[in-house]
């Protein structure tokens, strides 16, 4: 009997991790398939966009130092990513190879049960089978977050680290303001003392207050290790007295668009 995607995900015995990955893949697949022009694009093109966006976040696990992220956790992440991506009708040779290697590593460590071990060949066959994109787009998930006002959060983008303060939570999204600091090493709360708010630039070159409703920032702690709690209960965010007030209260974005913007 052929094994199904959900069967494999259940065998990983990592419900929070699977929920986070599946939600991220569905979110990226939805937005890639939403524009009218998506109907004329090849599934492979859509898939390449989806996978690139998902990996902007989950590479924080896949490319992490083994000292920081347990190898078995990284292997479960690689396999769950490949399965969730394949379930949405996409595939990537490098991601599939990483998942197959993860299966071997998990079995060698006897990390999962006998069913997983016995069905190794079936799981590999599923991952290497042609991916078929579902006729329907994934549904839009209800916004929610476990992060709270007063949290100070470190955010990893590739090999750079940023930080922001959560002013409040509105309609399931943290409203955040960034500290004007970025560095190669993870930030600590002590390093943010006295750091001003990072502003945006208007057309005339003046700096204005820059705040975001950051959708998709859900679980705390973050299973992808992209977002890390640096402090909590901090009533006062970064000093923004030097920034001009903008017309809007905040810009609406999500963790994937914000990550791409910070890469520029």
Residue 198, Cα to own-chain centre: how many angstroms? Answer: 23
Domain for residue 205, yes or no?
yes
Give me the phi and psi of 175, to 5 degrees please: -95, 120
Q: Are residues 23 and 100 in the same domain?
A: yes
pLDDT at 68 over 80: yes
Half-sphere exposure for 132 (CA within 13 Å, toward CB): 5
Q: Give which of 182, 178, 192, 180 is closest to 160, Cα–Cα.
A: 182
pLDDT category at 245 given cuts 50, 70, 90 is confident
pLDDT at 165 over 90: yes
pTM of the model: 0.94
pLDDT score, position 205 = 67
Domain for residue 145, yes or no?
no
Could you give the CA distance from residue 56 to residue 53 in angstroms, rounded to a whole number? Answer: 5
Q: What are the pLDDT digits (tens) for 184-236?
A: 999 999 999 999 999 887 767 678 888 999 999 999 999 999 999 999 999 99
Q: What are the pLDDT digits (tens) for 88-125?
A: 999 999 999 999 999 999 999 999 999 999 999 999 99
Q: Which long-range contacts (CB under 8 A, 24 or more apart) does 25-28 make?
A: 25/50, 25/54, 25/81, 25/84, 25/85, 25/87, 25/88, 26/84, 26/88, 26/138, 26/139, 26/141, 27/138, 27/141, 27/216, 27/254, 27/256, 28/53, 28/54, 28/256
Report the chain's terminal Cα–Cα distance, integer Å.
Answer: 48
Task: Provide the domain count of the chain.
Answer: 2
Q: Are residues 122 and 23 in the same domain?
A: yes
Q: What are the pLDDT digits (tens) for 18-63?
A: 999 999 999 999 999 999 998 899 999 999 999 999 999 999 999 9
Domain for residue 142, yes or no?
no
Could you give the CA distance from residue 143 to residue 120 in angstroms, rounded to a whole number? Answer: 36
Domain for residue 133, yes or no?
no
Q: Are residues 164 and 124 in the same domain?
A: no
Residue 249 is classified by DSSP as: S
Residue 235, Cα to own-chain centre: how many angstroms? Answer: 27
Q: Are 210 and 200 in contact (CB under 8 A)?
A: yes
Q: Are residues 123 and 157 in the same domain?
A: no
Q: Are residues 123 and 156 in the same domain?
A: no
Q: Are residues 202 and 115 in the same domain?
A: no
* Domain that includes residue 163, residue range: 152-263
108 vs 10, 63, 122, 187, 191, CA distance in Å? 19, 21, 17, 36, 42
């Amino acid at each position: 009997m052929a094994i199904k995607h959900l069967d494999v995900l259940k065998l990983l015995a990592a419900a929070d991790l699977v929920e986070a990955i599946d939600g991220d893949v569905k979110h990226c697949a939805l937005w890639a398939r939403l524009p009218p022009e998506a109907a004329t694009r090849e599934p492979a093109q859509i898939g390449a966009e989806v996978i690139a966006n998902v990996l902007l976040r989950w590479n924080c696990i896949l490319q992490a130092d083994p000292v920081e992220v347990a190898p078995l956790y990284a292997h479960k992440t690689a396999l769950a990513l490949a399965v969730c991506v394949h379930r949405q009708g996409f595939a990537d040779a490098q991601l599939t190879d990483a998942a197959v290697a993860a299966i071997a590593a998990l079995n060698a460590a006897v990390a999962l049960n006998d069913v997983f071990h016995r069905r190794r060949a079936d799981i590999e066959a599923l991952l290497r089978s042609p991916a078929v994109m579902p006729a329907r787009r994934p549904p839009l998930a209800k916004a929610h977050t476990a992060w709270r006002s007063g949290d100070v959060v470190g955010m990893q983008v590739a090999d750079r680290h940023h930080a922001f303060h959560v002013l409040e939570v509105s309609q399931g999204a943290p409203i955040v303001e960034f500290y004007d600091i970025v560095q190669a090493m993870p930030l600590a709360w002590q390093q943010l003392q006295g750091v001003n708010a990072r502003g945006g630039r208007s057309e005339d070159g003046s700096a204005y207050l820059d705040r975001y409703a950051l959708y998709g920032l859900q679980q705390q702690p973050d299973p992808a290790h992209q977002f890390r709690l640096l402090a909590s209960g901090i009533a006062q965010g970064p000093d923004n007295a030097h920034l001009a007030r903008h017309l809007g209260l905040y810009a609406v974005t999500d963790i994937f668009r914000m990550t791409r913007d910070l890469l520029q």
